[in-house]
Structure 1
Amino acid sequence: MFNKTTRGILTALILSATAMPVAAETIVREVEVTADMDALQNAEAAERWTHLADDLENEIVANLVGMTGEEGAKVLIDIDEVELANSFQSAMGVADSRLVGDVAVTHDSDNTKFDAYKLTVTFEQAGPFFLPGTDLTAITTDSQEYYDGMIAAFADYVVQKLK
């Protein structure tokens, strides 16, 4: 059985633990995505993914509601064109496809906001981002649904990592 002092100490510990600040979201001032589509040797991939850099950048910014500001982190993403081309090879099925990029987060004044990682989003991970009722067995790597789902999934993972 706890005495008054023990109960008081426990209450103080619980209150202080709940009052501790939670890690703040990263405020973002700029997002830049690069993808060298001229480097793609696969013409089908190059045609379908022509606007990848702009579309991914716009999707990330759209997901950053309430997390942008004049001062903040810069998010740089470089898409791996070789992996993108490989995802379009005929021997590889849509289930094995992936979108891969190097993500770097920099900040001019806050050293705690630096990060760098390689992000790989697979078709399976993009599943929740397809419209409800989408027949995932009918999707091909050259379909608009595939493109939209992969972009949405990649953007979501980048933004979730910033939170």
Structure 2
Amino acid sequence: MKPFAYVVLACAIAMPAAASDTKIETVDVEFDVEAIESRSAAAFWSDLEDDLENAIIEKVADRIADTGAEIEIDIDEFDMSESFQAALGADSLLKAEVNVRNRAEPTKNSFYELTVTVEDAGRFVHGGAGIEVLTVPTRQVYELLVETFAEGVVTRLR
């Protein structure tokens, strides 16, 4: 595996502006490891469920409650460029269906598909900076995808 990936990072990611005060009861991420063809890649992404759950919980820690919204995420595709040996590239993505169910406040329910690319992660982290090519460690690219996806879920809470 190459220690670095060349990543194209660009302008700001579009996220809803309003912050939510929705209480969160549970966060559950499901990941079908069979979606990854390479054994090396499957081993590398083996912690994705826990990492994404923890990233979301960290962002809503002050809103965890005994009753509230249940966030369910079903990761249906995680594509690492053409092959894992090429390391993560600019076209890598994290794609999932997100279901937010709030029995106490049904008007806050939502269901959507969220896709985050490495390019989106770069725009999010670099706050709209111009396009630049960076050399980024592969693990950092993974963390950027997870962090940006978690932020996308949290900012979409109603």
Matches within 5 A, 1:1-163: 25-81=21-77, 84=78, 86-90=79-83, 94-127=89-122, 128-129=124-125, 137-139=134-136, 143-162=138-157
SS state of the match for residue 95, structure 1? coil
TM-score normalised by the chain length of structure 2? 0.74
Contact 2:31 2:74 (C-alpha < 8 Å) held by counterparts: yes
Count the aligned residue pairs.
Answer: 133
- The verdict on how the C-alpha distance between 1:138 and 1:89 changes in structure 2, with shifts beyond 3 A counting, is same
SS state of the match for residue 80, structure 1? strand
SS state of the match for residue 65, structure 2? coil
- The verdict on how the C-alpha distance between 1:23 and 1:51 changes in structure 2, with shifts beyond 3 A counting, is closer
Larger Rg: 1
Post-superposition shift, 1:110? 1.9
- The verdict on how the C-alpha distance between 1:136 and 1:48 changes in structure 2, with shifts beyond 3 A counting, is farther
Post-superposition Cα deviations, 1:50-100, rounded to whole Å, max 9, x if no partner, equal 00000100010000032221110000000113xx1x324248971111110
Identity %: 35
- The verdict on how the C-alpha distance between 1:23 and 1:157 changes in structure 2, with shifts beyond 3 A counting, is closer
Post-superposition shift, 1:109? 2.7
Amino acid at match of 1:96: D
TM-score normalised by the chain length of structure 1? 0.72
Amino acid at match of 2:51: D
Aligned to 2:11: none
SS state of the match for residue 63, structure 2? coil
Distance 2:36 2:108 in 1: 33
RMSD, matched Cα = 2.6
Question: Structure 2 unaligned runs (5+)?
Answer: 1-17, 127-131
Indicate the structure whose relative CO is greater, using CA pairs within 8 Å and at least 6 residues apart.
2
Question: Structure 1 unaligned runs (5+)?
Answer: 1-21
Distance 2:133 2:104 in 1: 45
